[in-house]
Structure formats: structure tokens, C-alpha cells
Amino acid sequence: MKNLAEFETERLRLLAITTADAPNLLELMNTPKWLRYIGDRKIHSIPDAARYITEKITPQFEKLGYGNYKVIRKSDGVFLGNCGIYDRPGLEGVDIGFAFLPAYEKKGYAYEAALKMKKEGFGRFGIETISAITLPSNLDAQKLLERLGLTFVRMVRLKDEEEELMFYQIHKSIILKK
């Protein structure tokens, strides 16, 4: 991939996910919360994870310059999870998403990373509207989205999906008014 933006917060570094991250992505995508709230992507081996990165993650970075970032703790270089902004087919606006390994939940990392991605999305990438989707049962995600300033708009169903999802949005113009 070409030179992609990297981001830093007080405690974190956000770097584009590459095939070298396949072992970390394999672990993350098979955590109970990922499987429950995001779904089984049939990633059961390092080659599966590398293929997912090559087919799903890398093309968006190449096309748009942003996508799915690994979240690394600056103090020790440990992989915590992922956070990014995605051009998700069938969803209006760019989608913000996040997932963290269980050991790193409830420590403010998701908020810190997602806040940085929201600011970069509106600023550096010129995105006008950021959206998010979550299951009604995922109360932690709902709280985080609302803390980020996103507002629940309506229930949606993505193409070829059975479950209804909560659809949240925030517009750049809202941020500029504050």
C-alpha cells in the first residue's frame, strides 16, 4: 500500500491494518463479543485472516486512503483492537466502527481511538457524515456512539441480513456549530 496516514492520541497509535496483522485480527475476530455483535466472518486461521485483509481491508485503503486501523498502545506496542471508518455498501454515510480484545475493554481506548477517527474523518478526509450501526443488544456500543456525538436515527436492515440494526449518524455541520 502507498503511504497511508498514521494517527496518534495520548496513549495510542492507529496504523493501517496489513497482512502482517493477520494473527491479531484472527484473535480479535474470534472473541465472543465480535462473534455476538459483529458476526462470524469465517476467519479461523491466519491464512483466512490474511485473505480477509487482502480482499476487504486493503482495497478500501487503496481506493479512499482510509479504512480499518489497528490500535496499538504507545507505552508497550501491544495490539489492543481495531478502529476505523469504512465505506460500507448499503449504508448511507461512512461507517465508524471499533472492536477491542476483552483485556482492553472498559479502559477508554475505544473512545480515544474512535474520537480520533471521527476528527480525522471530518478533517483530513473531508467526510461530511459519519454513520454507525449496532445491534440493539450492544449497549456498550450505543453508549460509546452517543458519547462520540452520534444520534440514533432509525432501525435499518442491511442487504442480505436478517437482523435489524440501530442506525446512528453525525454530520460535520453539527460539529462546526459547537
Q: Mean pLDDT over residues 162-176, rounded?
A: 85
CA 18 – CA 2 distance, rounded (Å): 12
Count of CB atoms within 10 A of residue 66's CB? Answer: 22
pLDDT at 176: 52
pLDDT for residue 75 is more than 90: yes
Q: Helix or strand or coil: residue 114?
A: helix
Helices (H) then strands (E): counts for the chain = 7, 8
Instruction: Say which residue, 3 or 109, is predicted with more confidence.
Output: 109
Q: Mean pLDDT over residues 32-59, rounded?
A: 95
pLDDT at 49: 97
Q: Mean pLDDT over residues 21-29, rounded?
A: 97
CA 106 – CA 100 distance, rounded (Å): 10
Range with lowest mean pLDDT among 14-28, 69-83, 88-102, 118-132 = 88-102
Instruction: Say which residue, 160 or 141, is predicted with more confidence.
Output: 141
- Contact (Cβ atoms closer than 8 angstroms) between residue 151 and residue 168: yes
pLDDT for residue 16 is more than 90: yes
Quick: pLDDT tens for 151-167: 999 999 888 778 899 99
pLDDT at 175: 61
Mean pLDDT (the chain, rounded): 93
pLDDT at 153: 96
Q: Mean pLDDT over residues 116-135, rounded?
A: 95
DSSP class of 108? S
pLDDT at 4: 85
Looking at this protein, which amino acid is placed at residue 41? Answer: R
Domains defined along the chain, listed by start: 7-177 (3.40.630.30)
pLDDT for residue 2 is more than 70: no
Among candidate residues 168, 165, 175, the one with its CA nearest the CA of residue 39: 165
DSSP class of 75? T
How far CA 171 is from CA of 18, 85, 127, 130, 150, in Å, comes to: 30, 14, 9, 6, 8
Looking at this protein, which amino acid is placed at residue 2? Answer: K
